[in-house]
Amino acid sequence: MFLPIASKPPRISMGFLSAAHAMTLSASSFLSRVTKHAVIGPLACLLFCSTSTLAQEKVQISVDASKPGAKIDRNIFGQFAEHLGQGVYEGIWVGPDSKIANTRGIRNDVVSALKAIKVPNIRWPGGCFADEYHWRKAIGPQRQVTLNPNWGGVIEPNTFGTHEFLDFIEQIGADAYISVNVGSGTPQEAAEWLEYLTTPQQTTLAKERAANGHTAPYKIAYLGIGNESWDCGGNMTPEYYLSQLKIYSRFVRNFNPAQQDKQQMLKIAVGPGGGEARWTEWTEHVMKAWQNHQWSWDMNGLSMHNYTVVRWPPAFASVGFGETEYSQILKSTLDMEGLIDKHSAIMDRYDPQKKIALIVDEWGAWYASLPGSHPGFLAQQNSIRDAILAALNLNIFVRHADRVRGANIAQMINVLQAMILTDKDKMVLTPTYHVFKMYVPFQDASFLPVTFNAGSYVHGDITLPRIDAIAAKDATGKLWLEVTNVDPNNSVEIETSLNGINAKSARGETLTAPKVDSVNTFEAPNTVTTKPISVKVEAGKVTFKLEPKSVTVISVEQ
Ligand code: AHR
């Protein structure tokens, strides 16, 4: 049956704190990473006024290239593709007989756009969908037609199954992150799926795989053991889930000879979906068990889900909003930092060596469905606000690179905070897509410490850090700096000093838009798009100007 999304329980409501407290925590933990913060209290400003401290001054950013930190795992730029709405059917799969240009049924335009952002991995088939997915129904010439009860109760044709997904990720050059069905499946079903996928030996399942077109074993980089098992995945207690985790971890094996050592498949356990006691207890329970685990089970990562929604059900519009909603959403998104800190602190107690990765495998903005769209399809537009939101979250992940070694934005195409929107043969790249493209150089680069005076952007009773920045050094020695200007009204002059490198030349590009709710549409696909900016290098300092509400990436050659 169709479960209207509005009936979803308030999973993160206002998160783990009151609205006022949440802002203090997120802002203070954010600000503890900058040298000083010019405070302007909300009382100094009338309701709905907007202002920016230090608007006219040059902001100094210092990057210490002599102290490289953790590697920024490229997998934090991962994607999530669930069988939901038009995410898979139409977004990826049009079938080999379609008039839309395709390779074995997979859209060519989408593949080439995704190749350009170097998608590291794709999580599939869900989401809530994964806990009702039975892989055998979607292989071979005779597909079973089933239902998708989570997302609109629509027909699931199963024409996009295991082989089609693996063909798709091979076409774009990404790794597979497969979530197995713990909620309504069995360990045997999942174990047989992995044998089917990965064994090189001539078992009956391997022969079936070959008969279906793939003789060689597949590589499966990640195995998700359940999804939100505390909610749509079966409403389990942490104790019950842990008993399932041990069984699945033991028996769902990867037999690919190439994955027995360094390339081993990483097993990701279900983790928290917020900061409230039920989720800190969940993290505590799983991590404590892992610390004392016996040889017969193991895990490599703990998943975390956190949507920017402000309150359930999602009510904010994705287009046609003003500065108040712009600032409210961006304030809410900064809760990500407090949430990661909270769960990382628990993980640190049981895993001080940080062997277990925190994988934020569902994140992004969740708005009200577009008027006229199916409410179960989670269709929304994507504006410059989402681009800024994406940059702020990616920067949070980067600052926690030692623990956050994977993340998957929800969701890749046509669903929630998408990279790509499609309508039949048309395709448009969203502002969020452009951010992911701008961040490609940060994939697997080394984190560099950055200090700066963030200043404040104030709108009504909301105060946010005005700018955010991260830096990294890539394998060739090139330095990359990202600076986000949250302020939608004022530009910011930046002067960067670099310790440990002798800057010779620099260049940059920026993403901005005319209005806080500017979007790209099929009719006007380039309203929000990147453009080069002028960057000066003088006496080793790099200076440039940030436009209001912008995401900017600078590269510096030494
Ligand atoms: O991304 C949409 C849904 O959000 C996923 O299916 C589920 O895991 C989460 O509740």
Ligand 1 neighbourhood includes 376 CB (under 6 angstroms): no
Per-residue pLDDT, 198: 98
Q: Is 363 in a helix, a strand, or coil?
A: strand
Burial bucket for residue 294 (CB in 10 Å: 0-12, 13-18, 19+): exposed
Q: Indicate the burial class of 231 (C-beta count within 10 angstroms; 0-12, 13-18, 19 or more).
A: middle
Write out pLDDT tens, residues 87-110: 999 999 999 999 999 999 999 999
For a substitution probing ligand 1, which of 7, 11, 80, 82 has the most ligand atoms within 8 Å of its CB? 82
Residue 56 pLDDT exceeds 90 = no
pLDDT at residue 127 is higher than 60: yes
What lies within 8 Å, CB to CB, of 43 at 6+ separation is none
- The yes-or-no verdict on residue 425 having pLDDT over 70 is yes
Average pLDDT estimate for 297-305: 98
Q: Is the pLDDT of residue 19 over 70?
A: no
Beta carbons of 445 and 124 less than 8 angstroms apart: no
Please tell me the residue having the least CA distance from ligand 1 atom 4. 127
Q: What percent of the chain has pLDDT over 90?
A: 89
Structure pTM?
0.91
The answer to whether 495 and 54 are in contact (CB under 8 A) is: no
Ligand 1 pocket residue status of 229, Cβ below 6 Å: no
* Cα 540 from Cα 536, distance rounded (Å): 10
> Which among 536, 546, 531, 543 is positioned nearest to 491, based on CA atoms?
546
pLDDT of residue 262: 86
Our answer on whether the CB atom of 161 is closer than 6 Å to any ligand 1 atom is no
Query: 522-541: per-residue pLDDT in tens?
Result: 999 999 999 999 999 999 89
pLDDT at 29 over 60: no
Confidence of residue 46 (pLDDT cuts 50, 70, 90): very low
Q: Residue 26: pLDDT above 50?
A: no
Identify the residue with better confidence: 34 or 552: 552
Nearest CA-CA partner of 442 in 120, 217, 122, 160: 120
Q: Is the CB of 227 under 6 A from ligand 1?
A: yes
Task: Copy the structure tokens of residue 410.
Answer: 């929800």
Q: Whose CA is nearest to atom 7 of ligand 1?
A: 127
Which residue has a Cα nearest atom 2 of ligand 1? Answer: 127
**Spatial CA neighbour of 411 closest among 168, 83, 165, 179:** 83
Q: Which amino acid is at 404?
A: V
Decide if pLDDT at 22 tops 60. no
Q: What would the pLDDT profile of 220-245 be if each residue is shown by its tens digit?
A: 999 999 999 999 999 999 999 999 99
Residue, of 123 and 48, whose pLDDT is higher: 123
pLDDT band of 218, cuts 50, 70, 90:
very high
CA of 380 to the centre of ligand 1 (A): 15
Flag whether pLDDT at 469 surpasses 70.
yes
Q: Quickly count: other Cβ atoms within 10 Å of residue 35's Cβ.
A: 11
* pLDDT mean over 498-514: 96
Q: Is the CB of 131 under 6 A from ligand 1?
A: no
With pLDDT > 70 as the criterion, what percentage of the chain qualifies?
Answer: 90
